[in-house]
Amino acid sequence: MRFILVGALSSLIYALIVAILVGGLDIAPKLASVFAYLGSLPLNFLANRGFAFRSEGTFHGDASRFVVMHTAGAAIAYGSMSLATDYLGSSYLIGIVFAVVLVPAFNFLLANFWVFRDQRTDSRVH
């Protein structure tokens, strides 16, 4: 449940940034998707580390693995936007939907079993 709360907040931030960049600043949807993804990372890391997973690992170790995980997540978000806009000819809004479904599922698996692996046993998210 904690991961879902953090993910919902991160997804909201992502969607708002994409909408502002595309709708307000006329930035290309795929580029906006990457900027938005990166913009949501600091809050996402701190909330997941301290609240969702309650990691007892080192900050540096958790942060390093988190960056690797989210590099892959950013690629998924970019691919989602590319799929929606380039291949399906859909609105960038469909790309947002793809990203906010696919990326959290991917991130949960990696965060739970690799990034924040040094968790208190009683707080492990399964």
The list of the chain residues with pLDDT below 70 reads 119-126
The Cα–Cα gap between 5 and 90 comes to 29
The Cα–Cα gap between 85 and 95 comes to 7
Structure confidence at residue 40 (pLDDT): 87
> Which residues sit opposite 87 in a β-bridge?
none
Structure confidence at residue 8 (pLDDT): 87
For the CA atoms of the chain, what is the radius of gyration? 15
Identify the domain containing residue 38 by its residue range: 2-123
Number of domains in the chain: 1
Structure confidence at residue 120 (pLDDT): 54
Structure confidence at residue 69 (pLDDT): 93
How many CB atoms lie under 10 A from the CB of residue 33? 30
Structure confidence at residue 77 (pLDDT): 85
CA proximity to 95, closest of 41, 22, 5, 3: 22
Predicted TM-score of the model (pTM)? 0.70
Structure confidence at residue 66 (pLDDT): 94
Q: Using the 8-state DSSP alphabet, how is residue 124 labeled?
A: -
Q: Which two tokens stand for residue 2?
A: 């904690």
Structure confidence at residue 70 (pLDDT): 86
Residue with token string 């701190």: 46
Whether residue 112 contacts residue 86, with contact meaning beta carbons closer than 8 Å, is answered with no
